[in-house]
Structure 1
Amino acid sequence: MDIEQQTVVSTVGEKDDNFNGAPLSMGELGQSYVHIDPAAERKLRLKIDLAIVPMVSVMYLFCFIDRANLGNAKIAGMDKELRMKGYDYNVVITFFYISYILFEIPATMLCKYIGPGWFLPLTTILFGVASLGTAWVHTVPQASGVRFVLGVFEAGMMPGIAYYLSRWYRRAELAFRISLYVVMSPLAGAFGGLLAYAILRLDSFGNLREWRMLFAIEGLVTIVIGLLGLVLLTDRPETARWLTAEEKALAVERVRSERVGTTKVLEEINGARTLRGILNPITLSTATIFLLNNVTVQGLAFFLPTIVGTIYSGATVVELQLRTAPPYLVGAFFTVLFPGLSWRLDRRNMFFIICAPLTMVGYLMFLCSHEAKVRYAATFLVALSVFPFAPLANGQVSANVVSDTARSAAIGTNVMLGNIGGLVSGWSFLPWDGPDYRIGNGLNLGTSSTVLVLALGLFAWEQIEDLDWKHPDFEWRL
């Protein structure tokens, strides 16, 4: 074994699929007394990275494509064929977010109950079916109903994957690993635009044409990915066929070593622990920041094609699809860069403070300039500064709770509040406000400014907590 124990030496039993009992060597409060060999840990971590991160990343890629392809379909003629007028497009988006928000925490707890190795592939298949069904809608109410169902099945995806990864990684490692699948959000924007470009060049798909082909082809691909996930995903380290007995023990022990006061990595759902995860002050403050940030992120997903269309009014539909890709690619790079730095520094809130002013500058450029090049440059600045929040926020709430149940509840709460921001975003760019969209751009300037204030407040609170006996209210008792 690659674990050097300082006290009791214990061997792994023959039964490998249940390590929820006593740890290899634990103190009275559940702290680990083992010393983990860094070389063995690095080797194991790389093995885990290669085994699970690519699969969940591809699943999340198509989760976001199936959500955001509505914007691509709109400029490809969906709004005209369904005779959308007034706020109809905003209403269709709203129906998606109503179900997405309502089912966020229940879906996350269901993920824990049945196990993410089963839940994530099954929900992928189901939202693939919902996306596929959008290809046959003929009215705005039908489109709204299908998007509502899509929201039900997508609700548990982001928090479910974050919770799944928390079974495998230490707290400092988690934000970076979350970034490796959350980066699929901006990549989905870029890839979705390129995929839409390729699909729209087809004459037909079966008896479907134009925008309907987007939903049909992308939905079918999603279903296939979900079926692959059923075969390839491992629910937890203890059941991983691709790990040796020693590696399973090391994988469990390195996660458990950070769970002060608990002797189990996975415990049964408990009401008190669930409330502790939801009501944790770091959870609530971070989730509020994520809510405000998500107003911008989701608004970018649904309205970037429209915004680019107002900037380059003479471009063809295909050219507009292509021009939506570059800002997302820049956003993808920073979505990995900032969480990667946070892993090395074991700090997350400082990046909220760095990113928020960049978003503010981007929206000031939108509001103060009518030059196409300036406004297009602003989309790059916004994308690079808002997409890193998802892995950083989920990593932060996960790092500040102890039990497995509290962690799933905290992540679910964070994503639920974040998607209230998505609901707001559906009404931030109104038809009569174009082409400058001063209300939408002004709203996003306000949300990013508030994020900066909250992040600075959270930083100040953390500094006060660290003062210990130097706090001005501290009294010596001799």
Structure 2
Amino acid sequence: MVEPQLTTSSEDSKHAVSHKEDIGKETAHEAAERGHIATDNYGNSLVQFDPAAEARLRWKIDLYIVPTVALLYLFCFIDRANIGNAKLAGLEKDLYLKGYDYNKVLSIFYVSYILFEIPSNMTCKWIGPGWFIPAISLGFGICSLGTAFVHNIEAICGVRFLLGAFEAGMMPGIAYYLSRWYRRGELAFRLSLYIVMSPLAGAFGGLLASGILKLDHFGGLHKWRMIFAIEGIITCALSVLAFFTLTDRPATAKWLTPEEKDLAIARVKSERVATTEVLDKMDLKKSLKGIMSPVTLATAFIFLLNNITVQGLAFFAPTIVQTIYPKDKVISQQLHTVPPYIVGAFFTLLFPYLAWKFDRRNIFITIGTPMTMAGYIMFLASTNAKVRYGATFLIAGGAFAYGPLCNAQVSANVVSDTAQASAIATNVMLGNIGGLISTWSFLPFDKPNYHIGNGLNLATSSTILILSILLSMWMKWNNNARDQKDIDAELAGKSQHEIQELDWRHPGFRWKP
């Protein structure tokens, strides 16, 4: 077995500092190079990294990578959810939508969103996130702009279908992109730094829509059409900028030194058992391993149930607020949707931050669920406006953190880059089936108290609580079973390629809760 090469941060002299740094660079370079395995058969890293050097690198990556993807995702969510604000501003009346027409318009978005989820993330891996993410952002920006010019249900369904096709690759694409840069334990919090934009989009989207509606006109456009046009133009501008600012992977980062590039690659590689290269070639077997992982499927189902709540809140929060404060003006109703999203944003950062510090994700999925349950119990038990408005704060606080937690969970529990891409895409795809269900959870005949929608969401959050506990128990049980295996005997006679294709079936792999 290869002996571990260590770097330390404790030096007794100036000469020792220089010598230790040279060793650190050399071992990181070897670990980063193609063909070198960075772990033993038991999944233990063969390289020890200087924590101070890692901290400096991590901060540098945070500054260069996260702001761009966070801004793009902010407007991705705004362009998806602004239809709720437009509805309050007269969209239904102007397009002659009746009965369940609004629900149909919401649903068509999710049809393409679900269909294109896995193909989009595989394309993202093939083309490279540095080009793919700005390209699809430009696509859905144009779709949002086009919505300003629709005049009937057929036209708005067409642009919403295209919007879903372009946006399908956004959440999984960014999650996969960040997995190229960060360790397993670091990923949940970094995912939260862009996924927090979904509750902030609810807050900012309400403020922005309120501001836009104060305008008399925008060109020849009026009322709700101005919302789509102005927000679409902003998205397009940010997308063009991203073509020049989004670095595809550590190896091509001009803002990293050669030593930092080696360290960035080596530390990600050091957590992947039997891996010889971080960015492997497309491989069907590895893709299927990512999709069929028990943790991927269980977590994706949890995300499906959660998305019924999150997407339902995004699309129907303005409508719910309207039923609570029916006598308020439209702009006041828009502004009432903002505070619950601020609370949601806080917990979207808090839970993944704790997940990073403890390197645990599933426990925070379990902890957040009772808040959501309490919120829907309040909705069902009371018709008091203040109680029901208070319930939206609990729901947002408990539900929005699942995006980073679930994506980080599936990413942490497969090995190869290809499996990560397919696992994240599967998680988001199933999650968006929940989004499709959400479009039919709050129906016109059920207003103003929406007993069916609130009852459905109480049932889904209760199911999440049970499933997350069972998943933690299963992971612990299966890890104990893996501990009893003779790893060397199980790998005997297999080639390096065959060992790598095992992915999470590798006997040295352990589930990370």
Give the TM-score normalised by the residue count of structure 2: 0.88
Q: Which residue of 2 aligns with 1:128?
A: 141
Q: 1:24 Cα deviation (Å)?
A: 8.7
Q: Report the secondary structure of 1:378's partner residue.
A: helix
Paired residue for 1:211? 224
Residue aligning to 2:272 = 259
Provide the rounded CA distance (Å) in 1 between the counterparts of 2:292 and 2:29: 37
User: What do the CA deviations read for 1:46-65 (whole angstroms, capped 9, x no partner)?
Assistant: 00000000000000000000
Contact kept in structure 2, 1:94 and 1:423, CA below 8 Å: yes
For 2:136 and 2:363, the matched residues in 1 are separated by: 34
Q: Secondary structure at the match of 2:278?
A: coil
Tell me: CA distance 1:135–1:163, structure 2 relative to 1, closer, same or farther (3 Å). same
CA distances 1:158-189 after superposition (whole Å, capped 9, x unpaired): 00000000000000000000000000000000
SS at match of 1:136: coil
The answer on whether the counterparts of 1:30 and 1:263 sit within 8 Å (CA) in structure 2 is no
Q: For residues 235-275 of structure 1, what are the alpha-carbon distances to aligned partners after superposition, in whole Å with 9 as ceiling and x for unaligned?
A: 00000000000000000001010111110100111000000
1:353 has 2:366 as partner: yes
SS in 2 for 1:322: helix
Judge conservation of contact 2:39–2:272 (CA < 8 Å) in 1.
Answer: no
Q: 1:45 aligns with which of 58, 74, 77?
A: 58
Q: Does structure 1 residue 241 correspond to structure 2 residue 254? A: yes
* Amino acid across the alignment from 1:414: N
What's the counterpart of residue 331 of structure 1? Answer: 344
Q: 1:380 is matched by which residue type in structure 2? A: F
Show the counterpart of 1:187. Answer: 200
Partner of 2:84: 71
Distance in 1 between residues matched to 2:23 and 2:40, nearest whole Å: 13
Query: How many angstroms apart in 2 are the aligned matches of 1:470 and 1:47?
Result: 38
Residues of 1 paired with 2:257 and 2:176: CA distance?
A: 23
Query: Residue 379 in 1 paired to residue 388 in 2?
Result: no
Query: Cα gap change, 1:58/1:426 in structure 2, threshold over 3 Å: closer, same or farther?
Result: same
Partner Cα distance (1:205, 1:74) in 2: 18
SS at match of 1:146: helix
TM-score, normalization by structure 1: 0.94
Residues 173 and 370 of structure 1: is their aligned pair in 2 closer, same or farther, counting only changes over 3 Å?
A: same
Whether the 8 Å CA contact 2:100–2:444 is kept in 1: the answer is yes
Q: Is the 8 A contact 2:38 2:269 kept in 1?
A: no
CA contact (8 A) 2:40 2:273 kept: no
Q: 1:466 to 1:4 in 2, by over 3 A?
A: farther
1:457 to 470, 476, 490: 470
Tell me, yes or no, if the aligned pair for 1:256 and 1:264 is still in contact at 8 Å. yes
Q: How does 1:361-440 map to 2 (within 5 A)?
A: 361-440=374-453
Contact 1:294–1:419 (8 Å) recurs in 2: yes
Structure 2 regions of 5+ residues with no counterpart?
Answer: 1-17, 485-513
Q: Does the 8 Å CA contact 1:5/1:34 hold for their aligned counterparts?
A: no
Q: Give 1:33 shift.
A: 2.1
Who is 1:56 aligned against? 69
2:162 to 133, 149, 173: 149
Question: For residues 20 and 34 of structure 1, do their structure 2 counterparts lie closer, same or farther at Cα, with a shift above 3 Å needed?
Answer: closer
Q: Does 1:167 pair with 2:183?
A: no
AA aligned to 2:273 is V
- 2:239 matched to 1:226? yes
Identical aligned residues as a percent: 61
In structure 1, stretches of 5+ residues that fail to align are: 14-18, 472-478
Determine the C-alpha separation between the residues in 2 that align with 1:64 and 1:300. 13
The 3 A distance-change label for structure 1 pair 28 and 456 is closer
Task: Go from structure 1 to structure 2 and tell me whether the alpha carbon gap of 1:355 and 1:28 turns closer, same or farther (over 3 Å shift).
Answer: closer
Judged with a 3 Å threshold, the aligned counterparts in structure 2 of structure 1 residues 77 and 98 are, in CA distance, closer, same or farther, namely same
Distance 1:469 1:271 in 2: 25
How many Å separate the matches in 2 of 1:467 and 1:33? 23
Return the alpha-carbon distance in structure 2 between the equivalents of residues 323 and 41 of structure 1: 43
Aligned to 2:100: 87
Give distance in 1, aligned partners of 2:482 and 2:234: 58
The residue matched to 1:416 in structure 2 has which SS? Answer: helix
Measured in 2, the distance between the counterparts of 1:470 and 1:260 equals 15
Q: Is the CA contact 1:293–1:418 (under 8 Å) kept in the aligned structure 2? A: yes
- Give the Cα–Cα distance (whole angstroms) in 2 for the partners of residues 323 and 382 of structure 1: 15
Residue matched to 2:15: none
- Conserved 8 A contact 1:331-1:384: yes
